[in-house]
Amino acid sequence: MNAASAVKEGNFVSKADRINLHNKNGFTRQEDDMILEEVRKNPHRRSTHKLFHEIAEKIGRHTGNSIRYRFRTHLQNELKYVYKTDDEGNLITDSVGKYIPTEAMPSTMKNKFTARDDYTLAKAVMDNIADRPESTPDDARDLVLPGKFFEQMAKDHPNHTRAAWRDRYRKFVVPYGVDKYLSYYEDELSANRVPEEIKNFTGR
């Protein structure tokens, strides 16, 4: 029930909510709580615009941008915990079906990949190939890495999730070329230049 409905039905509404009812841009406590709860359910997406547009559709009287601004400037410090999710962002429940709170904030989907990240990933791929040469295809684009590879990447380099490492490999490193990026990165360092992260699929 929102504040306006509470007033119509004669239920108690806080002073702050009564004030906000007269200000179309104001947020009620109920709306703030809804925003926090939705973010807790989607911790990996808390930096994305799409999440806040989805919340806006549920609230109905604020835009996604205004809700995102509200969260970042007023509510973020109230986010004392989120709910546990798996590497794909799916909520994990306990034995009775309740969400599991955790104070450990997972990486966000928009955690930017750096040139060092791309090099680390490409190097790990080449090391994996070296460990199993008999199953390595002629074209690296046909290489299928085991799921445990990305689990280990997330464990060794927790600045990105397993899903993020996997997507970076499929959508950026493979199209660019694993060995090609390794050569580029090392050549840039040798020339005392700063390597760039992979920004497109065409390579150099």
Two tokens, residue 27: 């947020």
83, β-bridge pairs:
101
Tell which wins on pLDDT, 161 or 190.
190
Mean pLDDT value of segment 63-78: 93
pLDDT at residue 14, as a whole number: 53
pLDDT at residue 202, as a whole number: 42
pLDDT in tens, 1-36: 544 444 344 444 455 544 444 445 689 999 999 999
101, β-bridge pairs:
83
Per-residue confidence band for 132, with pLDDT thresholds at 50, 70 and 90: low
Nearest CA to 149 among 177, 172, 179, 127? 127
pLDDT in tens, 88-124: 778 999 999 999 999 987 766 556 789 999 999 999 9
CATH of 115-190, one of 1.10.10.10, 3.40.50.300, 1.10.10.60, 3.30.1340.30: 1.10.10.60
Per-residue confidence band for 129, with pLDDT thresholds at 50, 70 and 90: confident
Alpha helices in the chain (DSSP H): 3-8, 15-21, 29-41, 49-59, 64-70, 115-131, 147-156, 162-168, 174-176, 178-190
Distance CA 200, CA 162 (A): 21
Q: DSSP letters along 161-182, please? A: -HHHHHHHIIIIIHHH-HHHHH
Distance CA 139, CA 19 (A): 65
Provide φ and ψ at 113, rounded to 5°.
Answer: -85, 135
198, pLDDT greater than 80: yes
Of 16-30, 169-183, 188-202, which range is least confident?
16-30
Two tokens, residue 170: 């499929």
Measured distance between the N- and C-terminal CA atoms of the chain, rounded to whole angstroms: 56
What residue ranges of the chain are covered by domains with CATH 1.10.10.60? 3-102, 115-190
The CATH superfamily label for domain 3-102 reads Homeodomain-like (1.10.10.60)
How big is the CA angle at 202 (ends 138 and 44), to the nearest 5 degrees? 95
44, pLDDT greater than 90: no
In one-letter notation, the amino acid at residue 144 is V
